[in-house]
Structure 1
Amino acid sequence: MSVEPGHPYVSSALERLRHPDLEMLSPAYFGMVMATGIVSLATIWIGLPVVAWGLFAIALAAYLVLWTLTVLRIARHRDRFFADMIDHLRGPGFFTMVAASSILGSEFIILGGNMVIGFVLWLIAVILWFGLTYTIFTAFTIKENKPALNQGISGAWLLAVVATQSIAVLSSLLAAEIEQPYRLDLNFLALSMWLWGGMLYIWMMSLIFYRYTFFRFSPGDLSPPYWINMGAMAISTLAGSLLIINSEDAPFLHSIVPFMKGFTVFYWATGTWWIPMLVILGIWRHVYKRFPLTYDPLYWGAVFPLGMYAVSTFQMARALGFDFLEMLPTVFSWIALAAWALTFSAYLARLFAAPKPA
């Protein structure tokens, strides 16, 4: 059945594209690019190159649209934009810009073999990382009015870890294709970001786990970004695996391979531990407490870790020769693809929903 241009569903969608609610646009919406990009890479391992390219195109389109909306938001709602940046709950969502840029850059290198665009996106990610890291955490430090721990921290804080590790991943991919002496520089940057990301996770996860266990926890508190608990460890695993693979051409990496192998498995094991815990909490939230399951941009923060776990497990098995893990990337690639399809369908249903009668 064809849909005419004047149909209310189409009119509603076009109206939202023309006049989006810029003032309240979630800074974490770049999570859609993160999730789509990593699921695109995950589908390669299950033999779906056409799907991988299709998801790549969607991720690129979403990235460009979101940057357009972000620029418009800065122009029209500058005060609200910067107020979000220093807000304890919304501020960490800005780190999705960094991770989205890095993951899209990784796609350009892996799928398209385009080092130039990969490098440009790496440069954007690095600039964003420096600007956001020192703006957001400085603001959190010097603010006079701060929320209590149970009101000011969530799994979204770990997006800072994901952003850091995403630069380590893209730097490693670039280093594998570039000539010396820049190969050495990029590998050292990747190693430094990998180590810093791991330390940052330990700091933040200690606070989040304390919030879990010593403060009242309601179904509304268990927002989808808590899946970043696992996703941050998955991308740390991926970065470590790529550094191990690169160690053959970097003497300083080769000298610490046992250390990198140990911490890579440590990150993977920690991320794996979170999966059953998060599933159980999700059942408690939606089945036992009957919390409504409706579309929210934050659900992209739950899709991303599933795809990242698939990709990171594949690369770790490749780097360490863990052939006995070969089924896990396949299983989680399919799970991630199904989760992406469900979330994207919900997004389209929201976008094309018929307007409510006046």
Structure 2
Amino acid sequence: MSSNLDEHDTPARCKSLGERSLAELAGMSPAYFGMVMATGIVSLAAHLLALPRIAQALLYLNIVVYAALCLLTVLRMVCHSRLFFGDMIDHLRGPGFFTTVAATSVLGGQFVLLAADYRAGTVLWVVAIMLWIGLTYTIFTGFTIKEDKPTLDKGINGAWLLAVVATQSIAVLGALLAAHIDQPGKLEMNFLALSMWLWGGMLYIWMMSLIFYRYTFFRLSPGDLTPPYWINMGAMAISTLAGSLLIINVSDAPFLTSLLPFIKGFTVFYWATGTWWIPMLLVLALWRHVYKRYPMKYDPLYWGAVFPLGMYAASTDRMIEAMGFDFLGFLPPVFLYIALVAWTAAFIGFFLDLLRRVRTFGS
């Protein structure tokens, strides 16, 4: 990602911030809200698995991180509008913007489950829907009508599945909120959650077909295997969570009763697909970092690898409750602790990177 500025890209109103700080802001990854996604889902998984202190601490941290990233994103949009909107129609960077949708929904879920603040959850849900509509039709329209397009091996990666995660995150938050409102709102919100869940599944099938084709028929170098490929699993995990919540909500919406066998079947289908990806992604990570000796250093994209681990823990826990699969009870705690270790490693990397940038800026 380039942080080069030209004079026309930096309006006069921003020059007072200093060229060096502007250069740092220019290079900010659109996928940085993945930090909020990862922190939020680890917090929710900790809450579901009876670790309330960790859950609450991560909620407070997530509020601060979300507010800071919103401010930085607005500053980047104002001060570097050409780079900001250019990223939206870039095949590799554009899908990263969907982290804003998922982050907003995940934070909303934290307010609902950890703070019982349904008003804040509803506001964030509405904001997430507005962001989803705007980004979906801006990004994919831009990809469609732009004249110069990359080839498949240069233009697609696992980050594209963030569009699926964003869609399913709205279904998840909608299903959570539906349990706490009166009729007819319960019916309508569950219907919207069901619709988003179904659309997210269709979108995964489209995108995963292209990604798998790119995997198997084009040369893959270690540098191509970026951390967002873990979203291959994460997109299925959040689809499992949304389906499980719909099953739990079945008594609130009669139309869900007639669809119950279908919803249960597809929920297990999503979980099984996500589970299949885990060994595959571990093997590819070993190939990248051990066999090919690709250096591991902090990158904001690594939050995209933490999120699926926490989501797998949370989604498996909800599926066990929804469908009575008690024999899977060992999985959520195992993946929660793995997610906590991964989150801690990513946060230490973030802190050290931030410290380095501050020292460089001050010198």
TM-score, normalisation: structure 2: 0.93
Structure 1 partner of 2:27: 24
**1:239 and 2:242 correspond:** yes
Q: 2:89 & 2:346 partners in 1: Cα distance?
A: 28
**1:336 and 2:343 correspond:** no
Are the equivalent residues in 1 in contact too, given 2:47–2:114 (CA < 8 A)? Answer: no
Structure 1 partner of 2:252: 249
Structure 1 partner of 2:181: 178
TM-score, normalisation: structure 1: 0.94
Q: 1:147 & 1:307 partners in 2: Cα distance?
A: 33
**1:60 and 2:63 correspond:** yes
Structure 2 partner of 1:310: 313
- Structure 1: give runs of 5+ residues left out of the alignment: 1-14
User: By how many angstroms is 1:17 displaced?
Assistant: 12
Pairing partner for 1:100 from 83, 103, 113? 103
- Residues 38-49 of structure 1 mapped to structure 2, 5 A cutoff: 38-49=41-52
The more displaced of 123-132 and 45-54 is 45-54
Change (3 A) 1:336 1:144: same
- Structure 2: give runs of 5+ residues left out of the alignment: 1-17
Structure 2 partner of 1:136: 139
Pairing partner for 2:123 from 95, 120, 123? 120
Structure ranking higher on relative contact order (CA contacts 8 Å, 6+ apart): 1
Q: 2:152 & 2:21 partners in 1: Cα distance?
A: 39
Pairing partner for 1:355 from 347, 355, 359? 359
Change (3 A) 1:118 1:132: same
Structure 2 partner of 1:228: 231
Q: 1:90 & 1:121 partners in 2: Cα distance?
A: 24
CA offset digits 1:315-334 (Å, max 9, x no partner): 00100000001110010000
Q: 1:45 & 1:92 partners in 2: Cα distance?
A: 30
CA offset digits 1:292-323 (Å, max 9, x no partner): 00000000000000000000000001000000
Q: 1:222 & 1:49 partners in 2: Cα distance?
A: 35
- 4+ long deviations beyond 3 Å: 15-20, 354-358
Q: Which amino acid is the alignment partner of residue 355 of structure 1?
A: R
**1:277 and 2:280 correspond:** yes
Structure 1 partner of 2:294: 291
- Secondary structure in structure 2 of the residue aligned to 1:139: helix
CA offset digits 1:110-143 (Å, max 9, x no partner): 0000000000000000000000001100111111
Are the equivalent residues in 2 in contact too, given 1:45–1:330 (CA < 8 A)? Answer: no
Q: 2:259 & 2:272 partners in 1: Cα distance?
A: 20
CA offset digits 1:6-36 (Å, max 9, x no partner): xxxxxxxxx9997671111111000000000
Tell me the percent identity. 67
Q: 2:109 & 2:216 partners in 1: Cα distance?
A: 37
Q: Which amino acid is the alignment partner of residue 85 of structure 2?
A: F
User: By how many angstroms is 1:355 displaced?
Assistant: 3.2
The CA RMSD measured in Å over matched residues stands at 1.6
CA offset digits 1:209-233 (Å, max 9, x no partner): 0000000000000000000000000
Are the equivalent residues in 2 in contact too, given 1:43–1:337 (CA < 8 A)? Answer: no
